């Protein structure tokens, strides 16, 4: 349980940049947007960074009447020319009186043909292709880590490697020119909603030869490699799949959008009978007396 310091004995009013309320402790799950898959037998996109206090971690303190929650979107696999990489995922952020609390967007997968760009770094790193290195994970420098590195592509290998996931690194690829691409790293399970859900899986790489097949999707919403690459799952922050030759259309899989969930203990929720969440695509549910606030898109949580 964190120490509230001078806030601990406060009554409602007078605190916070949003008008001020008595500081409230909440559990959180914050998942950023996943990175897009790489083009032309490219690497899989890295999953969005994933951080959580549930169960048993240090809770987050909210002290504003109106709290802005930003849900990071996935990287776009189709916005770039043939030789350029797709986009990285966007950070998810919970704005608090003491500063923004964030997870990092997933890194983009490496473009394989030609191998002009490295696997992108991010919450989890994007996968490599064509004898290169995957991107670095946990770029936020958090402890525990928000994600893992993308897979590398070994000597003599033209295939895509998997993007990193919250539960493990992307799988390295040493399968040679005619071999298969490799899958992304697995996501990590969390039960903050009352049910176990696996989030933030890395995207699979794309193969150099279509007869080798594309890599499978990873647990946690990572998209499989394909032609085009398959998208990561929205709401899970999965990485997009890389493109398998003959790469027509040469479109990497989009990264999946992230999600933010705040779990307010029943004792805290009782202080705020007018608790409200917006817009309508976000929701509040009850679980054992606790309030579970789920943000599928950027919105606000009002304490009243």
Q: What are phi and psi of 211, to 5 degrees?
A: -65, -20
N-to-C CA span, the chain: 24
Q: Are 63 and 96 in contact (CB under 8 A)?
A: yes
On the question of pLDDT at 7 being above 50, the answer is no
Which pTM was predicted?
0.91
pLDDT at residue 156 in the model: 83
Question: Cα separation of 170 and 222, whole Å?
Answer: 11
Predicted confidence (pLDDT) per residue in 103-126, tens digit? 999 999 988 866 666 789 999 999
Question: pLDDT tens digits, residue range 231-241?
Answer: 999 999 999 99
- pLDDT at position 248, please? 78
Average pLDDT over the chain, rounded to whole?
Answer: 88
Farthest-apart Cα atoms in the chain, separation: 68
| DSSP E strand boundaries for 50-98 | 50-52, 60-62, 66-70, 92-96
Q: What pLDDT sits at residue 81?
A: 52
**Tens digits of per-residue pLDDT, 186-226?**
999 999 999 999 999 999 999 988 778 789 899 999 999 99
DSSP state of 222: P
pLDDT digits (tens, 9 = 90+) for 147-179: 999 999 988 888 999 999 999 999 999 998 888
Q: Which of 203, 197, 166 is nearest to 49 (CA)?
A: 166
Specify whether the CB–CB gap between 226 and 208 falls below 8 A. no
Kindly state the tokens that stand for 145. Answer: 């880590």
* Angle, alpha carbons 224-39-210 (nearest 5°): 60
- Each residue's pLDDT tens digit, 11-43: 333 344 445 678 899 999 999 999 999 988 899
Nearest one of 73, 108, 70 to 90, comparing CA atoms: 73
């Amino acid at each position: 349980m964190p120490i509230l310091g001078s806030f601990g004995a406060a009554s409602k009013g007078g605190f916070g940049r949003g008008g001020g309320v008595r500081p409230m402790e909440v559990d959180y799950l914050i998942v950023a947007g996943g990175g897009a898959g790489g083009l032309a037998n490219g690497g899989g996109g890295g999953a969005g960074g994933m951080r959580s206090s549930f169960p048993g971690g240090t809770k987050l303190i909210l002290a504003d009447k109106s709290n802005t929650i930003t849900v990071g979107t996935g990287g776009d696999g189709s916005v770039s020319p043939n030789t350029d990489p797709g986009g990285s995922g966007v950070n998810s952020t919970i704005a608090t009186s003491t500063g923004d609390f964030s997870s990092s967007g997933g890194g983009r997968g490496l473009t394989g043909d030609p191998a002009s760009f490295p696997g992108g770094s991010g919450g989890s790193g994007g996968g490599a292709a064509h004898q290169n290195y995957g991107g670095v994970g946990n770029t936020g420098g958090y402890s525990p880590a928000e994600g893992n590195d993308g897979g590398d592509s070994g000597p003599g290998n033209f295939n895509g490697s998997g993007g990193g996931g919250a539960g493990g690194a992307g799988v390295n690829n040493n399968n040679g020119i005619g071999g298969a691409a490799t899958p992304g790293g697995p996501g990590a399970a969390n039960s903050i909603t009352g049910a176990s859900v696996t989030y933030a899986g890395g995207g699979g790489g794309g193969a150099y030869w279509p007869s080798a097949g594309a890599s499978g999707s990873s647990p946690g919403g990572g998209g499989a490699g394909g032609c085009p690459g398959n998208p990561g799952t929205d709401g899970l922050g999965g990485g997009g799949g890389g493109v398998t030759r003959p790469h027509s259309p040469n479109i990497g899989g989009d990264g999946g959008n992230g999600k933010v969930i705040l779990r307010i203990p029943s004792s805290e929720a009782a202080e705020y009978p007018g608790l409200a969440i917006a817009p309508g695509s976000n929701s509040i549910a009850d679980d054992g007396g606790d309030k579970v606030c789920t943000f599928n898109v950027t919105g606000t949580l009002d304490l009243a």
